[in-house]
Amino acid sequence: MSSSKSSNVIDGKAVAAAVIKECLTEVDALRRHNVVPGLAVVLVGEDPASKVYVGAKARTCLELGIYSRKIELPAETTQEELIGVVHDLNRDPAIHGILVQSPPPKHIDEEAVIRAIDPRKDVDGFHPENVAKLALEDPTGFVPCTPAGCLRLLKAAGISTTGADAVVIGRSMIVGKPMAFLLMAKGTDATVTIAHSRSTDLPGICRRADILIAAVGRPEMVKADWVKDGAVVIDVGINRVDDPSTKKGYRLVGDVAYDEVAPKCRAITPVPGGVGPMTIALLMKNTLQAARQQTRVV
């Protein structure tokens, strides 16, 4: 490719900025009714990537006039202590949204922590009640931020999903499964395949995709010969790979071998600057939805 920003690149930063602009209007409307939306982000332990994400979430809240509370707990925090913190936040009227950063340390049962979050404050959309609402296409539920961001990127790039063959690689509760529900929902209307590490002939399944969503967490796994000519590729992966030539000693790559795949695509998201900024923007959207639903002022 001759230019680094060729026309098939979906600019996640620009689309996220548009979502943030919508949020500003929504924050104004709430503040006119004396409601300050509030988000609590809980981080247990010292995972360096999680620290970066949590910092970015707090900064975006500040930019928007959303009250944010960052709760950093030591890695030794017990599950009972963590659930106690969640219960306190459930009762706190200044907090409309609660997010416990994933993954927690190994001794914590993440599923139990998610179930402890009041579903009305579950802005991640991970609580079983919100998972069910997504499956039921009930708009009062919270849609997980990353898949919601991916769908918004497709829409912003003018990609028609109706009748398209969409393949999602990865079956996580954070991305793969909710992504599949969103793609097959009424109004989006894709034909969806969920593939994963145990799928037979993963490259062959991917080659059928008009829309390929990679969410496996394996650096540059998706190669050029896995991708149909003219496909749309959304890369959810954010993987740190060692690179002594950089100041930090690592660089970020996606789940897609970008340089070889991009020339074949109708559209593709870069890493960084693709899905990442969208996840934060949609978290802000969900926090405002939570504030509206809990206060009923607008």
Between 118 and 189, CB nearer to ligand GUN:
118
Catalytic residue among 101, 133, 210, 228: 101
Residue 161 or 279 with smaller CB distance to ligand GUN = 279
Long-range CB contact pairs, 128-137, < 8 A, 24+: 131/173, 131/178, 134/178, 134/181, 134/182, 135/181, 137/185, 137/186
Instruction: Walk across the sheet containing 191-195 and list its strands.
Output: 191-195, 165-169, 211-214, 232-235, 267-268
Q: Are 64 and 20 in contact (CB under 8 A)?
A: yes
| Minimum distance from residue 123 beta carbon to ligand GUN (Å) | 9
Of 122, 124, 210, 255, which is the active-site residue? 124
Q: Based on the residue annotation, tell me whether 294 is a catalytic residue of this protein.
A: no
**To the nearest whole angstrom, how small is the minimum distance from the Cβ of residue 279 to ligand GUN?**
6
Which tokens belong to 64?
């928007």
- How many C-beta atoms lie closer than 10 Å to residue 9's C-beta? 20
Tell the smallest beta-carbon distance from residue 218 to ligand GUN (Å). 15
- To the query of whether residue 289 is one of the catalytic residues in this protein, the response is no
Q: Which positions ≥6 away from 165 have C-beta within 8 Å?
A: 190, 191, 193, 208, 209, 210, 211
Nearer to ligand GUN, 68 or 146 (CB): 146
Q: Which residue is nearest to ligand GUN (CB)?
A: 102
Q: Which residue has the tokens 């247990």?
A: 44
Look up 124 and say whether it is catalytic. Answer: yes
127 versus 228: smaller Cβ distance to ligand GUN: 127
- Distance of closest approach, residue 158 Cβ to ligand GUN, in angstroms: 26
Q: Which residues bind ligand GUN (CB under 6 A)?
A: 99-102, 124, 145-146, 174, 279
Residues designated catalytic: 57, 101, 124
